[in-house]
Amino acid sequence: MRKHLDALVALEEVALSLKESAEQVKPNSPFDEGRLAGYYEALSTLLSQCQAFGIEPGEIGLEGFKPEDLLNRTKKAA
**Per-residue pLDDT tens digits for 27-70:** 999 999 999 999 999 999 999 999 999 999 999 999 999 999 99
Per DSSP, 29 falls in state: S
- pTM for the predicted model, two decimal places: 0.88
User: φ and ψ at 7, to 5 degrees?
Assistant: -65, -40
Report the 10 Å Cβ neighbour count for 35: 18
What residue spans of the chain are helical by DSSP H? 2-24, 30-52, 68-77
- Greater confidence (74 vs 46) lies with 46
